[in-house]
Chains A and B, each alone.
Chain A
């Protein structure tokens, strides 16, 4: 799975820290997701989508290998 958290973050002018605080996770988590090293739980994906006010599918994408 891939995502455009980093892009959305730039659009909303949020640092990793800001986003982490908004959804009560560690900054490592945001960083790991942006580096595609961690696939978030559904709950976390929905929270991120809510921050960016977009449907989950516009932030997270399946890849061929999934």
Chain B
């Protein structure tokens, strides 16, 4: 089987160690709208516009290829979540073989289907600024659904193994 696109198994536990705190931090950020002021820093922006995020340097304008000062709390948590989630999703199992690869691919396809089904429903039924939240969640849902589905299928096949000695 072709394993070229998978990371070594040890990245899986590293991934969980990043993903779990990032999830907790993410839930905390969503529920409190907390912004860590000590995380306000200068960053390089290929593109910056101030429609949603206040930036006192250029109110209402947009800037390209420039340094800006902004709060990076959401950015950091999102970044950690994606890096952790990718590691958990795409690290080899202890014994990665063709059956596991098959489960992996079916789960991936399943998660794309479910993700876009949810997105379609949201497109039709969620309006206004709330849709901005939908887009934010949608950045992470494919990974979340994939991880849940793949681990469920793995669990199910391990369980049926225990039943059948």
Contact = CB atoms under 8 A, between A and B. Distances in A.
B151 interface: no
A3 interface: no
A27 B165 CA distance: 11
A26 B102 contact: no
25 contacts: A16-B161, A20-B95, A24-B95, A24-B97, A25-B97, A26-B93, A26-B94, A26-B95, A26-B99, A27-B161, A28-B100, A28-B154, A28-B161, A29-B97, A31-B157, A31-B160, A31-B161, A31-B164, A32-B157, A33-B99, A35-B160, A35-B164, A38-B99, A40-B99, A44-B98
A41 B160 CA distance: 21
Contacts, number: 43
Interface residues of A, number: 17
A15 B94 CA distance: 20
Contacts of B95: 20, 24-26
Main secondary structure of the interface of B (DSSP, over half): helix
Interface residues of B, number: 15
A35 B154 CA distance: 15
Interface of B: 1, 93-95, 97-100, 102, 154, 157-158, 160-161, 164
Contacts of B102: 38
Given A33-B99, A40-B99, 15 more contacts: A20-B95, A25-B97, A26-B97, A26-B99, A27-B161, A28-B157, A29-B97, A29-B98, A29-B99, A29-B100, A31-B161, A32-B99, A35-B160, A38-B102, A44-B98
A25 B100 CA distance: 9
A33 to B, nearest CB: 8
A35 B164 CA distance: 9
A48 to B, nearest CB: 12
Nearest to B102: A38
Interface in A8-55: 16, 20, 24-29, 31-35, 38, 40-41, 44
A41 B1 CA distance: 9
Contacts of B161: 16, 27-28, 31
A16 B160 CA distance: 13
**Closest 10 pairs between A and B when the two form their complex, measured CB to CB:** A29-B99, A25-B97, A26-B95, A31-B161, A28-B157, A38-B99, A26-B97, A41-B98, A29-B97, A32-B99
